[in-house]
């Protein structure tokens, strides 16, 4: 369960900006709030919806979430030992650009609260820290400055051994997870559970590849049917590739196999290519009820852009809901009707459909969602750039509003910022 996320010096974000999922002091409805296991008098939000003009920095906030996750997952096992950290600092101020990039996160895992964060330069991890909150009091588990580590007695296991294995350009948590340290693996697993990477536009072939051979969740078909898409069934089938594509697939596989053998010092005997499987592909088809009651199946290339996107978006949504994890979606409304967007939000805003407390952080331009009865003011966020091109993030709860106010009208009138200026036209 995400409580707070902060970032500084990333893309259009210069100074430290914080996205809080903790319920504000503003009076609002409490129908879908999540319980905070360790603090009975506090609650957590299931949803954060971010608005803002084009190029105001909405995607920078979501990109920061993904970059933090990627560093935790890959900095030790995949990144080049001699490579840079791959950061994207704020480029409009040379002084800020030279400063470290900050990522930090407060979260609850299995009922326990943690605070984890790190700062990175182009070449290395500058600082890294992890705190726990036993009995509600913050206590350090480890702190890192460069390659100097300080450990608490609360952190057991082979902590010194792992610190010696930790490269300057890899995170200690990432190194610990790769070496099966119980606590550090647990922290890494929390970030591994985050879901996202839902594209705004998905070609039919790409959608089939991403779905693969696994059966489609029946809840997705039900959702699509309720939206009036006409979808009532689904199936997967094996399809023969054209001869030229089958040959190309086999050649690419042989090339990759050869490269892997050269990288492997032991050079095992090459396995025989399964040319039969390489000459076929798995195709997903959706069934529509035809005249006379017969079901007709369409290839995904024949489905609408919105149906294809919903197929993948709902897959991620239900996976997050089943695991009680975080889903991050850029441009929720891309290729989707406002009613479809509201129904996706409602999956997370209902205790019936979201019993494990999954959370959704998303951006959108769909102002109709501001009229949702289940959406609280502290669940609505705004990004806006100042005169120096840096993104500032704020919540509707920061403004003087009433529960009865028309938030959509107020937003479009510019009361909360986050809308582009009018272009003056002559005539």
Percent with pLDDT over 90 in the chain: 59
Cβ(151)–Cβ(159) below 8 Å? yes
- Give a yes or no: residue 312 inside a domain: no
How big is the chain by its Cα radius of gyration, in Å? 24
- Give a yes or no: residue 178 inside a domain: yes
Residue 12 sits in the same domain as residue 103: yes
- Give a yes or no: residue 271 inside a domain: yes
Q: Residue 124: which pLDDT band, with cuts at 50, 70 and 90?
A: very high
Residue 231: strand pairing partners: 288
User: Which residue would you say has higher pLDDT here, 374 or 21?
Assistant: 21
User: Which residue would you say has higher pLDDT here, 79 or 33?
Assistant: 33
The per-residue b/e assignment along 189-222, b for 16 or more CB within 10 angstroms, e otherwise, is ebbebbbbebbeebebeebbeebeeeebbebbbe
> What is the domain-level CATH number for residue 181?
3.40.50
Residue 96 sits in the same domain as residue 115: yes
- Give a yes or no: residue 307 inside a domain: no
Residue 212 sits in the same domain as residue 183: no
**For residue 332, what pLDDT is reported?**
94
276-327 per-position pLDDT tens digit: 454 556 778 889 998 888 999 988 888 888 888 898 899 999 999 999 999 9
**For residue 273, what pLDDT is reported?**
46
**For residue 246, what pLDDT is reported?**
53
259-276 per-position pLDDT tens digit: 656 655 444 555 554 444
**For residue 373, what pLDDT is reported?**
79
Q: Which of 98-107, 378-387, 405-414 has the lowest mean pLDDT?
A: 405-414
Asked if pLDDT for residue 253 goes beyond 80, the answer is no
Residue 76 sits in the same domain as residue 181: yes
For the purposes of burial, counting CB atoms within 10 Å of the CB of 405, is it exposed (0-12), middle (13-18) or buried (19 or more)?
middle
**For residue 136, what pLDDT is reported?**
84
129-188 per-position pLDDT tens digit: 999 998 889 999 999 999 999 999 999 999 999 999 999 999 999 999 999 999 999 999
User: Which whole number is the average pLDDT over 9-37?
Assistant: 90
- Give a yes or no: residue 310 inside a domain: no
Could you tell me the maximum CA-CA distance found in the chain, to the nearest angstrom? 76
Asked if pLDDT for residue 256 goes beyond 80, the answer is no
Final residue of a structural domain among 302, 333, 353 = 302
Residue 133 sits in the same domain as residue 217: no
**For residue 366, what pLDDT is reported?**
93
Percent with pLDDT over 70 in the chain: 85
Q: How far apart are CA 389 and CA 311, in angstroms?
A: 36
CA-nearest of 391, 345, 367 to 48 is 345
Residue 247 sits in the same domain as residue 331: no
Residue 166 sits in the same domain as residue 71: yes
Order the strands of the 280-289 sheet from edge to edge.
231-240, 280-289, 295-299
User: Which residue would you say has higher pLDDT here, 7 or 29?
Assistant: 7
Residue 115: strand pairing partners: 106, 131
User: Which whole number is the average pLDDT over 14-38?
Assistant: 88
Q: Is 182 helix (H, G, I), strand (E, B) or coil?
A: helix
- Give a yes or no: residue 313 inside a domain: no
User: Which whole number is the average pLDDT over 82-90?
Assistant: 88
Residue 353 burial (CB count, 10 A): 15
Residue 27 sits in the same domain as residue 176: yes
Residue 174 sits in the same domain as residue 45: yes
Q: Residue 247: which pLDDT band, with cuts at 50, 70 and 90?
A: low
67-82 per-position pLDDT tens digit: 999 999 988 876 567 7
Q: Which of 107-121, 198-212, 223-237, 352-366 has the lowest mean pLDDT?
A: 198-212
The count of domains in the chain is 2
Asked if pLDDT for residue 243 goes beyond 80, the answer is no
**For residue 345, what pLDDT is reported?**
95
pTM: 0.86
Which among 111-115, 397-401, 412-416 has the top mean pLDDT?
111-115
Residue 212 sits in the same domain as residue 174: no
Residue 93 sits in the same domain as residue 186: yes
Asked if pLDDT for residue 92 goes beyond 80, the answer is yes
Structural domain of 249? 204-302
Asked if pLDDT for residue 90 goes beyond 90, the answer is yes
- The overall average pLDDT reported for the chain is 86
What is the CB-side half-sphere exposure of residue 311 using CA atoms within 13 A? Answer: 29
Asked if pLDDT for residue 407 goes beyond 90, the answer is no
Residue 328: strand pairing partners: 361
- Give a yes or no: residue 10 inside a domain: yes
- Give a yes or no: residue 170 inside a domain: yes
Residue 151 sits in the same domain as residue 35: yes
């Amino acid at each position: 369960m995400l409580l707070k996320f902060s970032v500084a010096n990333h893309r259009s974000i210069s100074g430290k900006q914080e996205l809080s999922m903790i319920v504000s002091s503003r009076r609002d409805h409490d129908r879908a709030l999540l319980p905070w296991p360790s603090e009975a008098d506090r609650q957590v939000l299931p949803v954060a919806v971010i608005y803002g003009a084009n190029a105001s920095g909405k995607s920078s906030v979501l990109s920061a979430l993904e970059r933090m996750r990627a560093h935790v997952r890959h900095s030790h096992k995949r990144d080049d030992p001699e490579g840079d950290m791959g950061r994207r600092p704020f480029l409009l101020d040379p002084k800020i650009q030279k400063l470290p990039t900050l990522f930090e996160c407060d979260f609850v895992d299995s009922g326990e609260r943690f605070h984890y964060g790190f700062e990175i330069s182009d070449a290395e991890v500058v600082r890294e820290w992890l705190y726990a909150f036993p009995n509600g009091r913050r206590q350090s588990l480890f702190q890192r400055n460069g390659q100097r580590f300080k450990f608490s007695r609360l952190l057991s296991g082979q902590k010194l051994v792992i610190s010696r294995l930790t490269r300057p350009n890899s995170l200690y948590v990432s190194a610990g997870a790769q070496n099966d340290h119980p606590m550090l693996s647990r922290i890494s697993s929390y970030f591994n559970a985050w879901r996202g990477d839902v594209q705004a536009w998905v070609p039919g072939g790409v959608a089939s590849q991403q779905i693969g051979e696994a059966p489609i969740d029946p809840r997705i078909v039900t959702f699509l049917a309720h939206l009036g898409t006409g979808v009532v069934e689904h199936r997967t089938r094996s399809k023969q590739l054209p001869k030229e594509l089958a040959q190309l697939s086999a050649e690419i596989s042989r090339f990759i196999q050869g490269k892997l053998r050269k990288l492997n010092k032991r050079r095992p005997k090459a396995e025989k290519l399964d040319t039969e499987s390489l000459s076929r592909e798995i195709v997903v088809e959706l069934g529509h009820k035809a005249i006379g009651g017969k079901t007709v199946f369409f290839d995904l290339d024949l489905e609408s852009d919105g149906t294809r996107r919903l197929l993948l978006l709902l897959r991620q949504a239900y996976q997050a809901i089943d695991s009680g994890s975080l889903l991050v979606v850029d441009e929720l409304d891309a290729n989707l009707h406002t009613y479809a967007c509201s129904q996706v939000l409602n999956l997370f805003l209902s205790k019936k459909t979201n019993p494990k407390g999954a959370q959704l952080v998303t951006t959108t331009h769909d102002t109709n969602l501001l009229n949702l009865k289940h959406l609280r003011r502290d669940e609505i966020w705004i990004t806006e750039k100042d005169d120096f091109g840096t993104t500032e993030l704020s919540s509707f709860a920061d403004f003087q509003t009433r529960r009865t106010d028309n938030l959509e009208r107020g937003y479009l009138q510019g009361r909360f910022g986050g809308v582009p200026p009018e272009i003056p036209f002559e005539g």
